[in-house]
Amino acid sequence: MDPSIAAAALEADEGTLLADLSSLGTLFESLCVRDLRVYAEALGGRLYRYHDNTGLEADAVMTVRDGRYALMEVKLGSTEIDDGARSLLTLADRIDQRVMGAPAFCAVITPGGYAYARNDGVLVLSITCLAP
């Protein structure tokens, strides 16, 4: 569902959302997940969320039929990119790669800015880079 519907139902305007970054982050994550689900389905894949009993999570795990998968975190602010990358790398290390293989990529998705690859290999992608 388009997260703007939730914002409209809450009668939340720009000022309201900027004053409540937690809600804005939730709406942004919903937007990203919605778009990623569309891309995954176009590739014949699926989109999941991962959360384990230690609190480790991935906002999106995209899989495709041939077994490849990607791990993604959605972060509203640039100051959160390091945390997102660290979480993704920790998760990738916990996966039995003899069984699952390594992730095709790990990415932190942000609201804007340039796309780049960090020194640790994690991609930083603006949601605007994902548009067709």
50-106 pLDDT, tens digit per residue, is: 999 998 999 999 999 999 999 999 999 888 999 999 999 999 999 988 899 999 999
Retrieve residue 119's tokens.
Answer: 């020194």
Look at residue 125 and tell me whether its pLDDT is greater than 80.
yes
Residue 56 belongs to domain spanning: 3-130
The CATH code of the domain that includes 74 is 3.40.1350
| 101 torsion bin: left (phi>0), alpha (psi -120 to 50), beta (else) | left
**Residue 45: its pLDDT value, please?**
94
Residue 127: closest CA among 27, 8, 21: 27
In 10 A of CB 111, how many CB atoms?
17
**Residue 110: its pLDDT value, please?**
94
| Angle, CA of 93, 58 and 97, to the nearest 5° | 30
**Residue 132: its pLDDT value, please?**
58
5-50 pLDDT, tens digit per residue, is: 777 777 777 777 776 677 777 888 888 999 999 999 998 999 999 9
What are the DSSP E strand ranges found in the chain? 46-51, 57-63, 69-74, 105-110, 116-117, 123-126
Confidence label for 108 from pLDDT (cuts 50, 70 and 90)? very high
Higher pLDDT, 3 or 90: 90
Domain total of the chain: 1
